[in-house]
Each structure stands twice: as structure tokens, then as C-alpha cells.
Amino acid sequence: MEASAQQVVDALPDGVLLAGPDQRVELVSAVAARMLGIDAGTAVGRPLADVLLLRDTEGCRWYDAHRPYEGLSTRTGVPEQSWTLPDGSEVLVAARIHRPATDRAVDRVAISIRSGRGRARLDRERSDLVATVAHELRSPLTGVKGFVQAMLNRWDKLSDEQKKLMLTTVHSDSDRLSRLIAELLDVARIDTGRLQLHPRPTDVAVLAGRVVGSVGAATSRSVELVAPDDLPRVVADPDKLTQVLTNLVENAVRHGDGDVRVTLEHDPHRAGPGGSGPTAYVVVTVDDQGEGIAEALRRQVFTKFWKHGARGGSGLGLYIVGGLTRAHGGEVVIEDAPGGGARVVVRWPVEDHRRR
């Protein structure tokens, strides 16, 4: 059964108004009527200027500001803008102006109205993002500036050991800044789908050994790698896989307690992407002996700037792990480690299962 025009617009999530060539309302959706505080039935036939009760911060009406039936014949619409309803709430309003031809008069104006709460939430998220990034950048930058200023002011009074210590600290903070900027760029590429991968057959055990050795050398904690000799190679971008392994191990060291164990296994019979037939995976498991992560929080772990506890970090590591793993066709989950603590499991496909 065909739906009427009124049923169609009533089913839409945004409010809709249609006005004809006589500048009078022909159709009002239920959502638009509710937003405007009017009766949809009695609004039909009234002038659009009287029905569309929207004002800006200076009290100017939408209709008076845009005059949709006037102006250049090449005008086809009004871009989305923020306006205020009679009850004071914000809405986002856009319009489409229809003409039979460029030399003909306007025969229909279609207006959409949607709640401004989504934009307000987006604005808050952007503000939170800016504040978080600024905080993360400021900390190492303050250290760099402070030590450089001290060396400039007291160069002749500092011993060689003091100078070396300051320069070493500046170098470390500079590396931290570079890494944070690289993480932010990776996040932007993951979010926009512009992540570039250069996959080739890669030995996971070799990369994991390098990561475990590097991270282990920088901590007093035990970081152990357990891997079989016959582990198959995977199709992966080696740099991205190294980044995933590094973030996993460093996260376990930073946020966990006790020993950290990295285990590599071959799973040749797991179901493939989308429930397809069996395919082979290399499974990377990273266990720590800390408090673990509550099951209710495990879905949040892979969101941007998620932090748990007070041990620092940008909050981007596991978000990047999830993005890079999924980009290769793999998956990552959080579980409980057998001896207590958190377990992060990454299943990396042996063959090329990248998202196309």
C-alpha cells in the first residue's frame, strides 16, 4: 500500500514543512508541528511566514532574513543554520528552493528542522578533544621549555653532568611530543578512513621479540615472550603491527602490575570475517597481573582518550590498536587473565582480510 505524503514526512526523524507558489503552507510533519508548537492541521493554508516561528539571537525571523521567494533566480537553497524555537531551544534549519526553470518563479519551498542537541554534543566533544590534546602536549612542552631556559640562563654555572641530564630530559620529552603527534595523526587517519597500509608477509614473532626487548629494557618489571617455533607469517604492514604490539605491551606495563606475558599462538580453524569459513589467525595475548578491567568498561577501552586509573598516558593507545587491527581484518577483545589482571587478545589474520 502506498503511503501518503503526510505519512512519509511524519515518519522522518526531522521536522519538514512544504510551502507552495502562493507562499502558503501545504504540508507540516508531526515533528515540525511539535517543535514549532502548532497544530499541523490548522497550519496548512496559512502563510509560511506566520507558521515558521523561528528567530535568531537578535530576534530576527527566519523568513524575514532569507526571503525564500525572492532574490536571485539561481538560488537553490538556504544552508543549515542555528535558529531558536518559541520555547528557546536551538534547532538547525535548512531549506530547498524549487523552480520549474531559472526564468520562472519559485513554486515550492521545502524546509527541514532538526534538533540542535546533536550539534551541542559534538561541540562539547570537540572542546573535550582540544582540552585533552592541549593538556597532553603541555606537559612535555613545559619540561622542554624549562630545561632549555635553565641552560640558557645558567650555562656557565652548570656542570657537564647537569647539562647532560637536562639535555637527556629534553630529548625524552621531545620524543614524547613526537609520539603523541604521530598518535593524533593516526587517529585522524583511522577516523576518516585514510589509513594507508603497505602489507607484506611478516614474522610476528620477530616483531614481538623486538618490542618485548625494547619495552622490557625500560622497566624493572618482567616482560616475557612465549612463542612457538612454527608460527606462520601474517600479511600485515610491519610498522602498523609493531605499533599495535608496542601499544599493547606498554599499556600492560603502565596500567597493570606484576609480570607481563606476551603469548603468540596459531589458530588455524577460526571462523573468518562475516561468519565465512575457517581461516587461520595468529593470536597475540598480552597478560598483566593488575586489577584487570571490569566487564562493564571493556567496550569503552577502545574509545578515544579513555583512561583508567592515574598512571598517565594519552588514552589513544588502545583506540589505535583497535583501529589498526580492524583495518587488517582482525579483531581485539578484553578478557580476564587467568592469574588476575587484564588480558588483551588480538587475532590477526594470516591471509589478507583487509576491509575493502
pLDDT at 113: 92
Distance CA 270, CA 237 (A): 22
pLDDT of residue 276: 54
CATH 3.30.565.10 matches 200-349: yes
User: In this predicted structure, what is the pLDDT of residue 307?
Assistant: 64
The answer to whether the predicted template modeling score (pTM) of the entire model surpasses 0.75 is no
User: Given this model, what pLDDT does residue 191 score?
Assistant: 77
Q: Would you state the pLDDT for residue 236?
A: 92
Which class would CATH give 120-192? mainly alpha
The domain defined by 5-115 folds into Beta-Lactamase (3.30.450)
Segments making up each domain of the chain, as ranges:
5-115, 120-192, 200-349
From first to last of its 356 residues, what are the pLDDT tens digits of the chain?
356 888 888 888 899 999 999 999 999 999 999 989 899 889 999 999 999 989 887 888 999 999 999 988 888 898 888 888 888 888 889 999 999 988 899 999 999 998 877 666 666 666 666 776 777 778 788 888 888 998 999 898 889 999 899 898 888 888 888 878 888 888 888 877 788 888 999 999 999 999 999 888 888 889 999 999 889 999 999 999 999 999 999 888 887 788 899 999 998 876 655 555 557 899 999 998 878 887 777 777 887 777 665 555 567 788 889 999 998 989 999 988 887 788 999 999 998 866 54
* Fold: same for 120-192 and 200-349: no
